[in-house]
Structure 1
């Protein structure tokens, strides 16, 4: 098993894709106008995880809009998506085995660590570089492992509903991701 392998070049999927710049746009929303290139690693990773959760939700809600990402995907991205799926399954199995000492690690947390780590090693933590990597890995993972994503999103909804019991409508990452994708599309047509 390779823990430290060379970073593959992520093809720029923004050209000609209806959702190509979506991950970069999400990162900018969570960064609050601050350039990510000047942020410490921990903050980059947190922002990537937040953006990744909505990206996975959007891909799950509107997979047809992200099919173009699969067409330009690299074999390394497919392998990384499979590894992400295994890590997620292993983490959930561990949490079921020890319910008293559980810390949930969602797939977007694993994805954020991978993307932020690779970008830091390559010394390019710009929104464009992080967004392209996040879009590639998140889209391939969410489409190739759709059944797992559905289970993860369902569990996330249950956990989030328990935390925010005062909310009128239960949180739903698919709905939230689709709403953010619609806001991104509206911002593109307004520009």
Structure 2
């Protein structure tokens, strides 16, 4: 059984935010607090420790009191580089392959199930796989995923070949896709545009 202390969570906030006029999406206000604080509040209770993957304006994120990780190479290339950088960070701090896992949370998706990581981890062991990822209402959510630390070398190889997102490379890994019900209206709502942000605000105000 994978225990919480074996899991590091990474909030992926390293993108350019080009669809938000290059403003830090993670710091946009939703219900009077920054978007990323919604993510941290939910993610933090599901993992043993939490870090933030961020490339631009890291000083704006220091108030959160969490370790900040910049992309080790090819900043802004895509979320797979952020995942790879977090795995490298874990190894540098003594995490051991075979018993350590990385749970990923996009910084622009404030609401997701409170048992998300637990459900993904429960699926990994009986299936004897290295990666578990998420689906809701037939929509795949590849950034909500748990990766065994053993995946690092393969991920590095994929990045060298020009792959920067997890969805396209997932079939190359032993993986399991875990389905979740849309039990809450806002689950997996991606705040990519101003319209998405307004919709999220309306959900909070209900």
TM-score normalised by structure 2 residue count? 0.27
Bigger proportion of residues as strand: 2
Bigger proportion of residues as helix: 1
TM-score normalised by structure 1 residue count? 0.28
